[in-house]
Amino acid sequence: MKTVQLKVSRLDSNKRIDVLLVAHRVLLSRSQIQKSIADGCVSVNGDIPKSSYRVREEDVIQVVIKDPVPIEAQPEDISIEIIFEDAWIAVVNKPAGMVVHPASGNYSGTLVNALLYHCRNLSGIGGAVRPGIVHRLDKGTTGVLVVAKNDEAHLSLSQQFKKHTITRKYTALVHGVMEQQEGTISAPIGRDPVERKKMSTRSRRARQAVTHWEVQEHFDDVSLVSARLETGRTHQVRVHLASTGHPIVGDRQYGAVKRIRAITSKRVHDAFKGLSRPLLHAHYLEFLHPGTKKPVSFSAPLPDDFLNVLTVLQEQTC
């Protein structure tokens, strides 16, 4: 446990205390600052403020930073593809069906369990069950994911994600023939008001989300699309594409089941019906390396199940 003290300057006067402390990198995020305030670990001139408190020049802020919670997730000898690793980060190619971190119903067999076995050291900022985790991919989504191996790397990557300076590109196979060659979907995303496990563009409490897309190839009844995220909301690519009438092939949660029935080719119909996940792949990731501060990029090829479906489609069009 350590204590950080900060005296408010004239330039910082009138800022919210949670915003100020994040800007000065006292803690990782506003939510962590707000929790620290609720726990009585932040004081202003000896008094406990609210998160909305606007600081004044000459205020003396004191923050007690507790030691990271010991990692509780256990190492498991699970095979994973590590694309790159150094003292700062590990970049992996996540397979389909693997949950990123332990949660209700998935307490083992996750990417975190595998990483703890293969990498040993991971950032403790993510807490007891999410060590090193800076961003996530859905259980069914494959592709490139970066993990922080120390707290400084975690802080750097989190700030880059927050500022939307990290480039993330996905490949998706969607139902329907896209009328335009490219476009941008700008629609807020939040929890679905009826089905709480789903996200929706019709949520009353939504956050702005932007996805840029481009058609890579057309087939009968489907399109191969590349999507670049400007923001990173839960299920963003899946929700945005479904909202345009083009749900991702295999995405039972967002309307793909109904579209399969309309497929005229029996072979294509059977290939789609046999899918156990959405055909969504995070194929490219670019960011500033936390240690060198230089741009680095990583990519992962399409997985076999995705390639097998593309082969069927290509043979149908020959």
Residue 184 pLDDT > 90:
yes
d(CA 134, CA 162): 11
Average pLDDT taken over every residue of the chain:
89
List, as one string, the DSSP characters of the chain: -EEEEEEPPTTTTT-BHHHHHHHTTSSS-HHHHHHHHHTT-EEETTB---TTPBP-TT-EEEEEEPPPPPP-SPP-----EEEEE-SSEEEEEEPTT--SS-BTTBSSSSHHHHHHHHT----STT-SS-TTBSS---TT-EEEEEEESSHHHHHHHHHHHHTT-SEEEEEEEEES--SSSEEEEE--BEE-SS-TTSEETT-SS-B--EEEEEEEEE-SSEEEEEEEESS--TTHHHHHHHHTT-PBTT-GGGTHHHHHTT---HHHHHHHHT-SS--EEEEEEEEE-TTT-SEEEEE-PPPHHHHHHHHHHHHHH-
How far is 170 from 279, CA to CA, in rounded Å? Answer: 10
Q: Each residue of 43-67: pLDDT tens digit?
A: 999 999 988 999 999 999 999 887 6
CATH superfamily of 167-317: Pseudouridine synthase (3.30.2350.10)
What per-residue confidence (pLDDT) applies to 24? 84
Q: Does position 150 have pLDDT exceeding 90, yes or no?
A: no
**Is domain 2-65 classified as CATH 2.30.30.30?**
no
Query: Which sequence spans correspond to the domains of the chain?
Result: 2-65, 81-162, 167-317
CATH architecture label of 81-162: 2-Layer Sandwich (3.30)
Between 121 and 61, the higher pLDDT residue:
61
Mind telling me the catalytic residues? Answer: 138
The predicted model scores a pTM of 0.77
Report the range of poorest mean pLDDT among 24-28, 51-55, 180-184, 225-229.
24-28
Identical topology for domains 81-162 and 167-317? yes
Residue-wise pLDDT for 8-53, tens only, equals: 999 999 999 988 888 887 766 677 788 888 888 999 999 999 889 9
What's the pLDDT tens digit per position in 242-266? 999 999 999 999 988 888 877 778 8
